[in-house]
Structure 1
Amino acid sequence: MHEGNYRMSRLKLFISHSSRLDDVEQDQLDADHNWQLLKTTCKALKDAYGKSIDILVDQDEKGLYPGCDWERHLNEWLAECHAAIILFSKRAAETSQWVKKEATILTWRREIESNFTLIPVMLKGQVKQADLEQDIWKILQVEKNQCIQDAENSDDIVDGVKLALGALGAVKTDFPQTPFERVETLVTKLLKEGTDKQNLTDVWNSLEKCDIKPEWNPDEISRFSNALARYMLRDSQTCLQNFWHIINKLKPNPDKARAKELLKAIRALWVDAKAAGLIPISRKQQGMIAINGNLLLEVSKELNTNHYTLDRYLERAWPETDGIRTIPVTSTDIDEIQKEIRKEFGMQNTPIPPEIVDQLINDYSDPLFVYLHCSIESGGIPDPRVLNKFSKLRDTYEKLVFIFGTGEKLPEETNTKILTIAPPLDLTLEATQFFYETQAKKLLNKKYGTPP
């Protein structure tokens, strides 16, 4: 049941953990305890909430590894959950790259979705508050949420979850659409008019062949839409190719507005969710980020962008936000940069006092960025003296973020004031996604006519 951007459904609860069994003898005791705690916690949650929640969790004793089925489901789960628990064991806090990735994405969702609930759990004797105030955890600020401390057993965890989500009968069933549900809804809208079973089957068969594509023939639009949305999120790097196949195969041509809306919704999904998730977090902290890429300032009239890769990163970070402003500058002089910022918000031929313009800038609610090209060839990241001046400019514009584009590679070392957006961008991926998006846009123009 849909109403506006809300959906009636069971609450989907994701559990992030590092509780696999360990072959290292000295770690075996904690590993056994944490693995049993995960299983008893899942059972206790199901006992407490019954059918009102779905628990999304990896319970493979071997844990996550590159290419495994659970890894492929992660993108779906992280995009479709309404709330999440992070179980902070010693390993989760200190060495698990999976938990760091999941925590970054979940923290990002908390930052951009006011209704998203994140519940950190610190296991007794393994993690303390101070452990989450250093390294990546300090940047993510996971401890600022309602945190369950010194959890010893599943009862401690479930009691804390009840405080955060409500007890059985009090759990919400109407949620704002999750990122997954938004894609699923757009796919459904695109497919529902004038499409028959055979055409859906033809569309499915035309999609990119890979080992994660389900062997399934669609028989009704709702099931097909769900499967297709999951497929797109599970392998986001083929989204644009698959969009091309869908639009090319659907007969009759789908509604133009809906086709364009779906393209807009998926065109940035190729950007790594963890990397994108760091950007909103930096806005509230350092206010300076370093990002690599060859097409950061690529101009494309076809795609209506003056900075292709940069736009896609920011679009991934803030989906459905059209007011993001990026101001490219070539000078490190603070006065010149301030002039460019004020120029962006000024009105031509209408003089406005600078202090009023500054107030308008600070009142602006959507993200605001200044971009400076800083590849090795152009001199690299500004020195600490210049960075200090940039920090002072942020005293005037509190929401401003400086983006340093570093060209092909991220610098091996950066100033502690700068947050490096990782993982680094794969340049081949960047180029192929630019190509496929251009092809998708050309196909739309061919089917519906080039816009004036």
Structure 2
Amino acid sequence: MRVFISHSSQPDSPRDAEYLNAVDTALRTEFEVLLDRKSIEANQEWPCELNAYMDECHVAVLLVSRNALQSDWVNREAAILAWRRALEQDFQLLTVPLGGVTRDEILKHGRFSAMELGRWQFIPSGDPAEVAERILTHCRAHAPQPDSTPMDQQVLKLSALLADSNHDLLCMAATELGMETAGWGARAHEKLARGLARRLADAGPDEQYKVVLALDHALDEGQIRRLLRGMEYLWVPAAAAGRIPPLVANVEKRSAIGLNGKRLLTFTGRNYVDRAYRGKSNRDFILIDSAIGQQPLQEITQQIEKYFESRDIRRDEISSYLESSRTHYFVLVPAPVPDLEVFDALVDQFPQLTFFFGTGLAGHDDPRVGMLPRLVALEPVLSPDLEHKAWSRQKDFEVILNNVSR
């Protein structure tokens, strides 16, 4: 079993470091511990290995000191881990308050409240040895199923796709990528397919393109299409996507989502939702025309009603249909953000829908964002360069697909 430990790289006191060391030491006696002890500064890029750790772990331990409450990095890790817990019933997320931080303080903290951490497991306080033993006991009692993590599932899915390909062509692709292909012995083809699958699953956007380019002569059109379909949304920052499912699931406190960017309707909004739900198909999108006039409430309402009418659902049937539907609908509304009265009316009129509001191009720079208590602006803010690069990379993938289909 793999256990990830999230912590602030700048502990408030030597006592906090004692807790980290005690938990690390206790868990290593029986489990594989995923822990990054490097200090990460606020202006440094997000380390890729952290995403891999959080995708591979079966249990996560969140050590929350006062510095951790203010840490951008811990906040991102908490969002990703809460996301996994929201989607996976068997995933264990253990929160440990340190240094006088209380459970209520974490749950009500502005940066953590939307994550619904209160729905998961809190470890009672005690000295470092006691807390470490409680965590170890919990981990012993929750043995995971084999191949149960998102990374495991992704590698299995990719391996199955690649295993149908010609062995020699896969060897050529692996050699082009600098991978060793000799001396694998029995089940060499299966090991080769899994090795390439792991390489692809671990890759960032640029590396993914390189791997797909190497594989294009080994896969047919259908295989390439399935491969690209599972990759097109992976550019979205996991910490931002991870905030979406807990917000959608919280029906008692209905919120809307704020997302910046240039291509909300045509590209970005869908990718964020696909990333949040790992490409599952039980969702649909209602795109609101950007040419909204002087009566935004009426015009947006009419466009939503028109969408359902085109699917033979009358205006007076929308609410009952949404109550029973297995599909969840996301409404993408371009900038600018509506005023408070219009915002509240829309969210209350359609409580079964999740609204995405465009909040600006380079950031959440629409001045109304701070005036809407129920609008959760996704963090980290979307970089215009990242959005453009992802959109351009999608076009590159389409070229690969077109070449294979000829």
TM-score band by shorter chain is 0.7 to 0.9
Aligned to 1:360: 321
Q: Residue 84 in 1 paired to residue 60 in 2?
A: yes
Which residue of the partner structure matches residue 276 of structure 1? 241
User: Relative to 1, partners in 2 of residues 1:392 and 1:70: Cα closer, same or farther, differing over 3 Å?
Assistant: closer
Classify the secondary structure of the residue corresponding to 1:266: coil
Corresponding position: 1:429 with 2:381: no
Post-superposition Cα deviations, 1:254-311, rounded to whole Å, max 9, x if no partner, equal 24333222211111111111111122233224421221112222xxxxxxxxx22221
Q: Which moved more, 1:154-163 or 1:437-446?
A: 154-163
**Residue correspondence of structure 1 range 361-376 to structure 2 within 5 A:** 361-374=322-335
> AA paired with 1:147?
F
| 2:174 is aligned with 1:201 | yes
What is the alpha-carbon distance in structure 1 between the residues aligned to residue 117 and residue 136 of structure 2?
A: 16
CA separation of 1:101 and 1:223: change in aligned 2, threshold 3 A: farther
* C-alpha separation in 1, matches of 2:123 and 2:74: 17
| Aligned pair partner of 1:267 in 216, 222, 232 | 232
Aligned residue in 2 for 1:64: 40
Residue 134 to residue 105, structure 1, CA distance change in 2 (3 Å): same
**Structure 2 counterpart of 1:4:** none
- Structure 1 unaligned residues grouped into runs of 5+: 1-10, 22-26, 206-215, 298-306, 375-379
Question: Is 1:448 equivalent to 2:405 in the alignment?
Answer: yes
Does the 8 A contact of 1:19 with 1:38 survive in 2? no
Distance 1:198 1:320, change over 3 A: closer
Query: Does the 8 Å contact 1:111/1:281 carry over to 2?
Result: yes
Aligned ranges 1:22-171 → 2 under 5 Å: 27=12, 30=13, 32-47=14-29, 50=30, 53-60=31-38, 63-65=39-41, 71-93=47-69, 95-123=70-98, 125-132=99-106, 133-163=108-138, 165-167=139-141, 171=143
Three-state SS of the structure 1 residue aligned to 2:356 is strand
Which of 186, 191, 205 aligns to 1:237? It is: 205
Q: For the structure 1 residues 203 and 154, does the alpha-carbon distance in structure 2 shift closer, same or farther, using more than 3 Å as the test?
A: farther
Output aligned runs, 1:342-421, within 5 Å. Answer: 342-346=305-309, 354-374=315-335, 380-393=336-349, 397-412=350-365, 413=367, 414=369, 415-421=372-378
Please give the per-residue CA displacement for 1:119-176, whole angstroms capped at 9, x wherever unaligned.
11112x431123211211111121331211323223324324534x443xx6233353
1:261 aligned partner, one-letter code:
R
Q: Find the aligned partners of 2:42 and 2:344 in 1 and give their Cα distance.
A: 41
Question: How far apart are 1:16 and its partner, in Å?
Answer: 0.6
- Partner Cα distance (2:344, 2:144) in 1: 46
How many percent of aligned residue pairs carry the same amino acid?
Answer: 25
Q: Map Cα deviations across residues 402-422 of structure 1 (whole Å, 9 max, x no partner).
A: 111234233334122211122
Deviates more, 1:398-407 or 1:335-344: 335-344
With normalisation by structure 1, the TM-score equals: 0.76
- Tell me, which stretches of 5 or more residues in structure 2 are unaligned? none
Give 1:400 shift.
Answer: 1.3
Cα distance in 2 for partners of 1:410, 1:69 equals 18
Q: Give the C-alpha shift of residue 245 in structure 1.
A: 1.4
Q: TM-score scaled by structure 2?
A: 0.84
Q: Which residue of 2 aligns with 1:209?
A: none
**In the alignment, is the contact (CA less than 8 A) between 2:26 and 2:136 conserved in 1?**
no
SS of residue matched to 2:32: strand
Change (3 A) 1:338 1:166: farther
Matched-pair contact (CA < 8 Å) for 1:204–1:217 = no
State the distance in 1 between where 2:94 and 2:401 align: 43
Q: 1:264 to 1:353 in 2, by over 3 A?
A: closer
- Out of 139, 162, 171, which is 1:191 matched to? 162
Would you say the 8 A contact 2:58–2:144 is kept in 1?
A: no
Structure 2 counterpart SS, 1:269: coil
SS in 2 for 1:321: coil
Cα drift, residue 194 of structure 1: 1.6
Q: Deviations over 1:210-249 (max 9, x none)?
A: xxxxxx534455565555555545552225522441333x
Q: Which secondary structure state, in structure 2, belongs to the residue aligned with residue 149 of structure 1?
A: coil
Q: Is the 8 A contact 2:23 2:135 kept in 1?
A: no
Aligned length: 387
Shift of 1:65: 4.4
Distance in 1 of aligned mates of 2:357 and 2:145: 43
Pair 1:240–1:366, CA change in 2 (3 A): farther
- Provide the rounded CA distance (Å) in 2 between the counterparts of 1:230 and 1:191: 11
Supply the RMSD in Å over aligned alpha carbons.
Answer: 2.9
Q: Within 1, Cα distance between the matches of 2:145 and 2:208?
A: 33
Structure 1 residues 371 and 173, CA gap change in structure 2 (3 angstroms): closer
1:322 aligned partner: 281
Q: Secondary structure at the match of 1:109?
A: helix
- Separation of aligned partners in 2, 1:151 and 1:337: 53
Q: Tell me how far 1:57 sits from its aligned partner.
A: 1.1
Alignment partners' CA distance in 2, 1:230 and 1:65: 29
Assess, with a 3 A threshold, how the Cα gap between structure 1 residues 344 and 353 changes in structure 2: closer, same or farther: closer
Distance 1:244 1:340 in 2: 39
